[in-house]
Amino acid sequence: MLDSELKFYLKAHLGKPSVGFKLSEAENNKLFAYFNEHCEEGCLQDPKSQQKIKQAFKEYFEPVGYILFKLTENKILLKVFAYKIEPKDSINLPAVLEILSLHKDLIQYDYKGNKNQISIPSKLKKKIYDFVKRIKNEEIHKKELIRFAVNEFFELHDHDIVIIKEDQIFVKKLDEKYKRKVSENEKNTIANRYNGINEEELKSLYDDFFSKEENKSFFYYVAKLFVTVHMIEKKIDNHTYEQKVFSIIQSIIAEQLNNTYNRNKDFCTGFAGYIFRVHFEEVFGHIASLILTEIAISNEYMMDFLKYYSLNVIVIDGKKYKVPELETESGLKWNVVSMLSIVKIYVKIKSSVDILKKEIDELDKKIKVLYIGEFSPLEYQNKLQKEKEEIEHILTQEKKKLDRVQDTLLSVKNEQRKFVLTRERLELKEIIQKKRDEKAQIIAQTVQKSVITQYNNLRKTLDTLMRQLHRNEKVLEQNRPSYLSIKNALAKALVSKKTLL
């Protein structure tokens, strides 16, 4: 079971974390159904797996408090407590500040050429985290302690941004005029697009910080949260979807930014609006893919939801409205019936391809474990065999030389000649013994037959999976154009609204 999958499950199904949270019996049963589906047999009895599950719960509740957690055979015992100490009152705060002070030469000011940006690089971040992880003398939000210490050390204002990343701690100082006050009559207009925050500030942070790799998982996660929570769980209707989809997605993005990066809610709301606009098509592309995955498994709600786009015209309170259609740029129109078989085939094969790739990756890791240096067991064995044959050839030649020398010694009369031959015989014997020792060393390095058998079996399985993957990828490519036509038509419809006729 992937850690990220469980973290997503908690986020999607348990709602917002809170002190005093109680896991209901229904939620407990759903969690164990989830474990049974995603864990290998015996997973819940494995201490490492139990620790991963506990860590997922710990991180989920970290924004509000610390937990007492116990996993039994069929029940999760959980209690959430509020942190007892505020970062400003922490007895460990001076130590964190001292670490920053002692290693201030590592701090990168004017980061990426911007005088308002500071980077605490990985090396210094690790020193801080190594200390904070060991704190046992107080119950405190450790990440917030780090944020507060950074704020104190650099004398930051409340509106400045502190972002804790895996590879660094990033500080963005904002001008006092970074946000203008939005009047009441501007709140639902373009003037409040980014919560009144200067677009240049948002663009600067985005360009300097929001990496492509981060985008890849971030926006898929946002789309998955929207589909899982608001569509699959809450089953919003098409009317509610059209009214609220943009605001819901922006609030999801803002919440992720707020939880992951900073407690400046105003800035996160504005930044969410900015990056949602930049990645608008990407987000709805993910949503379309997730919806199609659901109709591939015959999710009735999703199928009914999509049937809306085939209604053409609807009447509400005596008024006629034109409904968005699942139409391609070429004018081809899709409906649930026409798209169903294509989507089912594509999603099924795509799932198979993903599983095969994972299995191939796991097999490849098992095969690499058997490697000796840069050689596979078979290559290494062949290499040893070749070296052994070369030594045996040399031994044969040297033995023949020795036999000739010994035969000559029996008949030679000249003492000087006899001395030379005797010395040559000793040298040949030394060479022969050395080659025998080398041969013995090679034999000692011989790969066990069981290892060769294991390697060959793994290779055969891998080759079989590779052939199957190739066949499936070919089918996938054949169906891809039709699938993408459906996906793009759906993404276009999902960002459209019914219009009054």
Q: What is the mean pLDDT of residues 365-389?
A: 92
Q: Quick: pLDDT tens for 134-157.
A: 999 999 999 999 999 999 999 998
Query: Could you tell me where the DSSP H helices lie in 279-414?
Result: 280-296, 300-307, 336-369, 377-411
Question: Would you give the DSSP letter of residue 141?
Answer: -
Quick: pLDDT tens for 224-281.
Answer: 999 999 999 999 999 999 999 999 999 999 888 887 665 567 778 888 888 899 899 9
Confidence of residue 191 (pLDDT cuts 50, 70, 90): very low
Residue 248 to residue 75: CA distance in whole angstroms? 33
Q: Could you give the 3-state DSSP secondary structure of residue 272?
A: helix
Non-local (6+) Cβ contacts of 238 within 8 A are 305, 308
Q: What is the DSSP string of 450-471?
A: HHHHHHHHHHHHHHHHHHHHHH
As a whole number, mean pLDDT of residues 92-110 equals 95
Q: How confident is the model at residue 131 (pLDDT cuts 50, 70, 90)?
A: very high
Most confident of the ranges 38-42, 73-77, 201-205, 303-307: 303-307
Number of H helices, E strands in the chain: 16, 9
